[in-house]
Amino acid sequence: MVKVDIDTITKELQAKLNAAKNSQQITNIKLEYLGKSGVVNNLASKIKQFPNEQKAEFGKAINKLKNQVTILVQQAEKDILNYGKNVDADLTIPVKPTFTPSLHPTTQTLRELNAFFNYYGFSVLEGPEIEDDFHNFEMMGVPKDHPARELQDTLYIKEPEILLRTQTSNEEARVLKREKLPIRVVIPGKVFRNETANRTNGAMFYQYQGVYVDKNVTMGNLKWMFEKALKHILGEDTVIRFRSKYYPEVEPGLSPDIQCKFCGGKGCIVCKQRGWIEIAGGGMIHPSTLQKAGIDNKKYSGFAFGWGLDRVVMNKFKINDQRLLYSGSLIYK
């Protein structure tokens, strides 16, 4: 016949609780005794072995055991939470500072921008970093004999067709062919060019591409989006100007500059004494590009833009040299 030795069980439980060093260990002990397959439930499952006249007595013993186990566990949980609160300690003793890591500035900026454009209905996509010539150049209105290719010192994997992408608009070409209209996407990512690194340029850097295609999309929509996004990420006090600029994949094109955050427009080494920093480029997607993607350019229009994300990060976090973003150094001047 099964008997419930309450004293023995509670003594064993108390010994285990006394030896527990943290709340997780106490939780494990609680499950051992009060869990679905714990000691108390296992004993309770044996009540069917008793004659009817003894079941009531056995049930009372089980309830008594459960109550005592619950009280002991609750007291142990309270004790572990209060441990150290009443210790007499000198809180003025200096301690060695510890380094607390955080997200990379570029990652923080990317997440903020993704959240901003998500709010306005844009999806976030990624594109391949190893690309073919067609999607990187020709689909974007830059054939092999186009002089704009000389502005991008391309790094080739297998010349002349396989390369490291020079711009995130390579995925724009696929999006225009693949996605259903209307299209609203942003495409952040790394791009690569054979350039000598300096304060504002690098051989590897981040761009942030955006594409919007729908009926009646205008340059006014693009300017509004630029202003809204730049002030969101860099602050409402950001001073912005727009300049007409040529880009082979758009027509017309424009470039937003921001007043240098380092010198307030007076001129410094970061803005090359100009007072302004070119931060992005964009314009209306060329009708021939829409046509190549199978989109009716008489019915639909759209804009595309590409941010120089590292320059945004520099101005946001007051980092005066782009090279420091990827040098691994924890200290910059």
Structure confidence by residue, pLDDT tens digits, 114-143: 999 999 999 999 888 898 888 888 777 676
Distance of CA 328 to the CA centre of its chain: 20
pLDDT at 166 exceeding the cut of 90: no
Together in a domain, 43 and 110: no
The pLDDT score that the predictor gives to residue 79 is 81
Q: Establish if 1 belongs to a structural domain.
A: no
The pLDDT score that the predictor gives to residue 330 is 55
Together in a domain, 145 and 60: no
333 pLDDT band (50/70/90 cuts)? very low
Together in a domain, 137 and 252: yes
Residues paired with residue 124 on neighbouring β-strands, in sequence order: 186
Q: Establish if 299 belongs to a structural domain.
A: yes
90 pLDDT band (50/70/90 cuts)? low
What is d(CA 237, CA 255) in angstroms, rounded to the nearest whole number?
A: 19
Q: Establish if 283 belongs to a structural domain.
A: yes
User: What is the pLDDT of the chain when averaged over all its residues?
Assistant: 85
What is d(CA 73, CA 17) in angstroms, rounded to the nearest whole number?
A: 7
Q: Establish if 290 belongs to a structural domain.
A: yes
Pairing outcome for strands 183-192 and 280-285? unpaired
Together in a domain, 291 and 145: yes
1 pLDDT band (50/70/90 cuts)? very low
Together in a domain, 49 and 196: no
Q: Establish if 47 belongs to a structural domain.
A: yes
Together in a domain, 155 and 267: yes
Q: Which of 82, 113, 142 is at the close of a domain?
A: 82
Q: Which domain holds residue 69?
A: 6-82
Together in a domain, 197 and 276: yes
What is d(CA 119, CA 186) in angstroms, rounded to the nearest whole number?
A: 12
Structure confidence by residue, pLDDT tens digits, 240-261: 999 999 887 788 999 999 999 9
Together in a domain, 169 and 297: yes
Q: Establish if 194 belongs to a structural domain.
A: yes
Together in a domain, 120 and 255: yes
Number of domains the chain is built from: 2
The pLDDT score that the predictor gives to residue 137 is 82
pTM of the model: 0.65
For residue 144, the number of C-alpha atoms closer than 13 Å in the C-beta half-sphere is 6
Together in a domain, 76 and 110: no
Q: Which of 47, 82, 117 is at the close of a domain?
A: 82
Percent of the chain with pLDDT over 70: 91
Percent of the chain with pLDDT over 90: 37
Residue pair 261/275 in contact (Cβ under 8 Å)? The answer is no
Q: Which of 34, 51, 82 is at the close of a domain?
A: 82
Together in a domain, 111 and 32: no
Q: Establish if 90 belongs to a structural domain.
A: no
Residue pair 193/182 in contact (Cβ under 8 Å)? The answer is no
Q: Establish if 207 belongs to a structural domain.
A: yes
Together in a domain, 29 and 76: yes
Specify the CATH number for the domain of residue 126.
Answer: 3.30.930.10
